[in-house]
Amino acid sequence: MDHQILLELYNRYHRELYLYLYSLCQSHPLAEDLLQETFLKAILSLGDHHPNMRAWLYLVARNLCLNSLKKAGRAVSMEQAEPPPDFSSQDDPLNRFIQDERKKALFEAMKHLEPRKREILIMQYWSQMTQKEIAAVLQITPENVRVLAFRAKKELKHSMEVNGYDLS
């Protein structure tokens, strides 16, 4: 793979891939290691003209994470997880507080989703992936992605409303 293409891929996707990996493994050091391993695999085996490099990176990252968790003999548990680091910068303390509270409530609600639904929403909203890209990563149909995303959003909305957040 061309060095310039790899550098461009890294600059474009490293943050979102890190957050995705962290959402799966709930460990900052492991997510960082897996991110580096994902890009190492890209150096070794990804061609310069792959039709969807982003989906390929997500697929590799996901497989590396699941294999690592399987080897370690531990299940992915959102119950003990801390929210991932926030890469945005908001200077106003009130806005930061409001945003942090909303993110915390959303993060808590997402803990209760089944893993596949949670993963789809993370890819769809945090990584801005299309249903087709998500389907390629999860190896399911785009229609299945659409249905699972709809159900997950419905469950999240219910959970947020139960906890006093007005979403109308």
Q: Is the Cα dihedral 108, 113, 118, 122 positive or negative?
A: negative
Residue 97: per-residue pLDDT: 55
Residue 86: per-residue pLDDT: 53
Report the alpha-carbon distance of residue 37 to residue 33 in Å, rounded. 6
Q: Tell me if the pTM is above 0.75.
A: no
Residue with tokens 């995303």, as numbered in its chain: 149
Residue 50: per-residue pLDDT: 66
SS3 content of the chain, % helix, strand, coil (to 5): 70, 0, 30
Decide: 69 and 75 in contact? Cβ < 8 Å: yes
Q: Is the Cα dihedral 45, 118, 103, 29 positive or negative?
A: negative
Residue 5: per-residue pLDDT: 78
Report the alpha-carbon distance of residue 104 to residue 84 in Å, rounded. 10
Report the alpha-carbon distance of residue 65 to residue 71 in Å, rounded. 10
Decide: 51 and 162 in contact? Cβ < 8 Å: no
Element (H, E) at 140: none
Which of 40, 155, 56 is closest to 109 using CA atoms?
A: 155
Residue 151: per-residue pLDDT: 96
Residue 91: per-residue pLDDT: 55
The low-confidence residues of the chain, meaning pLDDT below 70, are: 1-2, 46-50, 74-100, 166-168
By CB atoms closer than 10 A (0-12, 13-18, 19+), residue 49 is: exposed
Residue 161: per-residue pLDDT: 83
Residue 39: count other Cβ atoms within 10 Å of its Cβ: 22
